[in-house]
Amino acid sequence: MKRIYIVVLLLIAGFSLRIYDLTDLPLDFHPTRQLLSLIKARGMYYASLSNIPEEQRQFAIDQWHSKTTFEPELLERLVVFTYRFTGEQVWIARIYSSLFWMIGGIFLYRLARDLVSENGALFSLTLYLFLPYGVFASRSFQPDPLMLMLTIAFWWTVQRWSRNPISWVFAILSGIFGGLAILVKFVAAFFVIGAGIGALLLKGDSLRETVRRPQAWVMTVLGILPGASWLVYGVYVTDFLRTKFEGRFIPALLVIPSFYLGWMSMLNIVLGSALIALALLGLFFYRQRIFITSLWMAYLVYGIFFDYHISTHDYYSLMIVPIAALSLAPFADLILPQASSFLSKIFLFFIFCFGIFATAWDIRSQLKETDYRPEAAMWAEIGEMLGPRAKITALTQDYGARLEYWGWERATIWPLYDDLVYHVGLKGANKEFETLFANLTARSGFFLVSMPDELSRQPELKDRLVQYPVFAEGEGYIIYDLK
C-alpha cells in the first residue's frame, strides 16, 4: 500500500510541474505545431459563435480550413468543447495534454511492474514523469501526448493478453487502444505492431496457434479499422491525404553519415547520451527481454522509415521516453538490495527525493525564465497597424502562425535560409533571388521582418529591403513599405 501513495504523490507532483506557468503562451515547445492546432481550434470555435463580427468569424473559419490536415482533429475538438465553458483560452490544451501524459504514466507503471517489479515500476514512472524533455513535450498542443497514452495502454493490455491468451477483455482492450493510437497519429502503428510482435513472442505460441485464436483476430480488426477508415476517407473520399506521405522516406539519407549524426543529436536532446547508454544496458538485466527489445526494434524501423524527420525533429523521438523508462526499470532491483540497513535506506530515499526536487526546480526555472505573454500584444499591435486584410510578405516566426493567431493577418511567407537550401537550392545567383522576390511580393504592400538574425543570413534580401522606406518599427519587428 505504501507504494500506491508514492505513485499518487509522483503523479500529483508531475502534473503540478506541468501546469506551472499555465497561462503563458504555447511558444516554449515547437510553437509552429502548437499554433497550427490553436488556429484550427479557434476556427472551429468561431464557427459556432453568432455574437462576433461576421468578417472576423469568417476569417477564423477560413484560417482553419486553409491549414493542412493529416491526423484527425480529436484534441482540437475536445479543446473547442471546453471553450464553450471557459471562452478561448490558449492554456486549455496544456491541461489535457498533461492529463494524457499522467494517465500514460499509470499504464507504464503497471507494465513495468508486470515486466520487472514494483521497485522497477517506480523507477520507470519517475523517469517518465520528470525527464525534462518529457515535461515540455507533454504540455504541448499536439496529438503526441494522447497518442503516447493510448500506445502505452496498448502495450500493457497486449502484454496482459499474452499471459492469458483466452482473455476476451484484454484482447478487446488491446484492439481498442491500439486502433485509437494509430487513428490519433499514424506513426503509432510502428509501436503497436512492434509491441504486438513482442507479445506474441513472449507468449511463445506458434503462428498457427495464434491465428486459430478468435481473440487475436478481434484484436487485429479493432486495431486496423479506425486508422484504415481515416486513411480511406482521406485518400479516396476527400483526397486531402493523397500527397501527405511524400517526403517522409528519403533513401539517399541512409548512406550519409550526417543522417545518423543528426539522429543522435535528436536523441541527445530527448534523453541525453548517458541515459541512452544506460537504457540499452538495462536490456541485459531483463529476465524476459523479448518484449522490451521489440519496442526498441520498432523505434529503429520507425526512425529509418521517417529518416528525414527523425534526424531533424526532436519530437519524432518522443516515443523513446517510455521505452527508455521501461529499459531502466531493472536497475532498481540491482540498487535497492544494496541498501540493507535502515540508514542506507534513508540515504537512498534522500537521493531519490533530491533528484526529483533538483530536476523539477530546474524545469520550473526554465519555464519561468521566458515570459511569452508580451508577444500576443506585439502581434496584435502589428495587425492593428497594418489594418484588416493587409497584403503582407513576411520573414517571420512559425511560418506566419503568430501573425495569424494574434495579429489576425495572413501573409505570404518568405522562406527561411534553411528552407531555401532544402527546397529551392539557394546558390546566391542574383537572377534566382530576383525571381523569388518578384513572385513573393507581387501582391504585397508591406514586408514584415520579425527575425533580424534570419535576415542577416540572407544578405541579398537585406540589401533589397533597405531600398524601401520603413513603414513602422518596434521592439522585435520592422515593416518596410513596398508601395
The answer to whether residue 59 is domain-embedded is no
Q: Which residues of 369-386 are buried (b: 16+ CB within 10 A; e: fewer)?
A: eeeeeebbebbebbbebb
- What distance in Å separates the CA atoms of residue 135 and residue 321, rounded to the nearest whole number? 11
pLDDT higher than 60, residue 425: no
The answer to whether residue 63 is domain-embedded is no
pLDDT higher than 60, residue 424: no
- β-strands 477-481, 392-395: how paired? unpaired
- Number of domains present in the structure of the chain: 2
The answer to whether residue 435 is domain-embedded is yes
Examine the fold and report which residue of 367, 396, 414 is the final residue of a domain before the chain moves on. Answer: 367
- The residues, ordered by sequence, that sit 6+ positions from 113 with a Cβ below 8 Å of its Cβ are 120, 121
- What distance in Å separates the CA atoms of residue 118 and residue 45, rounded to the nearest whole number? 45
Radius of gyration of the chain (CA): 25
- What distance in Å separates the CA atoms of residue 199 and residue 470, rounded to the nearest whole number? 64
Looking at residue 428, its pLDDT comes to 45
**CA–centroid distance for 243 within its chain:** 22
256: left (phi over 0), alpha (psi -120 to 50) or beta: beta
The answer to whether residue 233 is domain-embedded is yes
The answer to whether residue 76 is domain-embedded is no
- What distance in Å separates the CA atoms of residue 144 and residue 150, rounded to the nearest whole number? 10
Examine the fold and report which residue of 310, 343, 367 is the final residue of a domain before the chain moves on. Answer: 367
CA atoms within 13 Å, Cβ hemisphere of 246: 5
Domain hosting 297: range is 2-46+94-367
Judged by average pLDDT, the poorest of 40-44, 199-203, 359-363, 477-481 is 199-203
Examine the fold and report which residue of 310, 342, 367 is the final residue of a domain before the chain moves on. Answer: 367
- Three cell numbers, residue 442: 507581387
Helix 342-369 and helix 118-130: axis angle, to 10°? 20
- What distance in Å separates the CA atoms of residue 141 and residue 146, rounded to the nearest whole number? 10
The answer to whether residue 202 is domain-embedded is yes
- What distance in Å separates the CA atoms of residue 205 and residue 359, rounded to the nearest whole number? 44
Residue 133 shares a structural domain with residue 210:
yes
Residue 453 shares a structural domain with residue 469:
yes
Residue-wise pLDDT for 259-318, tens only, equals 999 999 999 999 999 999 999 999 999 888 899 999 999 999 999 999 889 998 999 999
pLDDT higher than 90, residue 418: no
Looking at residue 109, its pLDDT comes to 97
- Three cell numbers, residue 370: 521566458
Residue 334 shares a structural domain with residue 256:
yes
pTM of the complete model beyond 0.95: no
Residue 327 shares a structural domain with residue 426:
no
- What distance in Å separates the CA atoms of residue 367 and residue 44, rounded to the nearest whole number? 29
Looking at residue 426, its pLDDT comes to 39
Residue 252 shares a structural domain with residue 107:
yes
- The CA angle 418-423-424, to the nearest 5 degrees, is 95
Residue 186 shares a structural domain with residue 228:
yes
Residue-wise pLDDT for 238-248, tens only, equals 877 766 666 56
Residue 457 shares a structural domain with residue 344:
no
Residue 167 shares a structural domain with residue 23:
yes
